[in-house]
Homo-oligomer: A and B are copies of this chain.
Amino acid sequence: MNQATLFQTGDIAAMDQRYRAKFINSLSGFKSVNLVGTANEAGQTNLSIVSSVIHIGTNPPLMGFIMRPITVTRDTYNNILATEYYTFNHITEAILKPGHQTSARYPAEESEFDATGLTPFYSEGFPAPYVAESPVRMGLAFREKIDIQLNGTIMMIGEIMEVWAPEEAIAADGYLAIDQAGSLTCSGLDAYHRTEIIARLSYAKAGQEVREM
């Protein structure tokens, strides 16, 4: 067994609030890093970084992400409900600092695109702004809002309407090598990491050894 220390409910409750937030946020494991692009009905753009995007289903292609309780104005949330469209844009090392900077609190009339220097890009017929510098981008149509009663957080689920991806990173079987595309991962509240592939492993069957593909 590894050397590990046990933290029980009382230990966690006794932690300083900020310390606990950093500790607990580290525990789920590595996370996706996406910029959510939206616009309000007047066309004013907004961009915010999220680390909670997850795959919900393939057919239809659905993705979810978690929003914190709406105790302050949240432009992303309001824009999605008002316009029903939004984008996810992977973050690379080249846009890491401006991407992280979108988590700052800007006045509603200032776009995070302008504030950070990231470039809005519009796909024909799709109303929400993409991040031009991002190599993997999805345009989504809002489908369902789930209120999580336990703590007031909200899961927003959307259907993928279009995908922008570098064709040379797509393997013959459909796998998109997001590491080759330059996508990053994050951990905790503020740590960013590049990745290195170990292996793709074969579909597991009982009584049969897993192979590297």
Contacts and interface: CB of A to CB of B under 8 A. Distances in A.
By size class, the interface of chain A is 35 or more
A77 interface: no
A17 B59 contact: yes
Given A93-B198, A165-B7, A198-B194, A174 B29 contact: no
Contacts of A163: 6-7, 12, 23, 27
Interface in A192-213: 192-206, 208-210, 213
Contacts of A127: none
Interface in A1-58: 1-9, 12, 15-34, 51-58
Interface of A: 1-9, 12, 15-34, 51-63, 66, 88, 90, 93, 96-97, 100-107, 110, 115, 119, 121, 123, 132-138, 143-144, 146, 148-151, 153, 155, 157, 160-168, 170-171, 173-179, 183-185, 187-206, 208-210, 213
Given A24-B58, A176-B188, 20 more contacts: A1-B119, A1-B121, A6-B123, A6-B162, A12-B160, A23-B163, A23-B174, A27-B61, A27-B63, A28-B54, A29-B178, A56-B148, A62-B151, A100-B204, A100-B210, A110-B206, A185-B193, A185-B195, A191-B199, A193-B196
